[in-house]
Amino acid sequence: MADGHDMGERAKFREMLEGTKEDWDIIVDHSKSFNKGLAKRVLNHLRLLDGDFGGFPIDRLEHSLQTATRAHRDGRDEEYVVCALLHDIGDTLGSYNHPDVAAAILKPFVSEANLWMVANHGAFQGYYFFHHLGLDRNMREHFKDSPHYEYCAQFCHLYDQAAFDPDYQSEPLEFFIPMVENVFSKPVNSMYLKAMQE
């Protein structure tokens, strides 16, 4: 079962020191089916942003949909659009470092450039408002030697900072579900990968 509340077979150890191959076969089997529900769990977490305005003109879910819709309509590929959709998913748990949360979730599934873009978008987005808060709007210049500087600056300029329009007609979350399912079905970067393959 994908919800983690199944009553199936369980490992017998009381501490990992006692663990056997049989125990771990059981756990890996459960992990494989639990991992199939990851996209659904991520989408459910994204839905927590619904109705969360935080003083902005639109709520955080609508901002996420609008960022992703703008990227999609601009011809960006599926992986990029999923990154755009999830870039602020960390707002609920990472109040002081939200980009790190999205980056950690996406890390096994996306390219180095897309991961860097998500992980660092906070400083780049700051170019558009940090000066109103007494912060340095040019904080992004710390990253000027990165090969991904322009890529990330473009994401913020074209999609993220532009996605606060209450009159913009975004695609609904349902539109993006197959894209999220597809991206999250193909982990490529994880220390557990070899043990988790079918």
Residue span binding Fe ion (CB under 5 A) among the ranges 6-14, 37-45, 88-96, 142-150? 88-96
Asked if residue 79 binds Fe ion (CB under 5 A), the reply is no
Asked if residue 88 binds Fe ion (CB under 5 A), the reply is yes
Give the 3-state DSSP-derived string for 85-136, with helices as H, strands as E and coil as C: HHCCHHHCCCCCCHHHHHHHHHCCCCCHHHHHHHHHHHHHHHHHCHHHHCCC
CB of 165 to Fe ion, least distance (A): 13
CB of 108 to Fe ion, least distance (A): 21
**Which of 79, 140, 160, 170 is close enough to bind Fe ion by CB under 5 A?**
160
Whose tokens are 């996406």? That residue is 106
Inter-residue contact 23 to 11 (CB < 8 Å): yes
- Cα–Cα distance measured from residue 169 to residue 175, given in angstroms and rounded to the nearest whole number: 13
> What six digits make up the tokens of 196?
């988790």
Asked if residue 62 binds Fe ion (CB under 5 A), the reply is no
CB of 91 to Fe ion, least distance (A): 7
Would you give the binding string for Fe ion spanning residues 113-152, x where CB under 5 A is met? ----------------------------------------
At a CB cut-off of 8 Å and minimum separation 6, what does 184 contact?
A: 38, 39, 42, 109
Q: With contacts defined by CB under 5 A, how many residues of the chain interact with Fe ion? A: 2
| Residue numbers at the binding site for Fe ion (CB under 5 A) | 88, 160
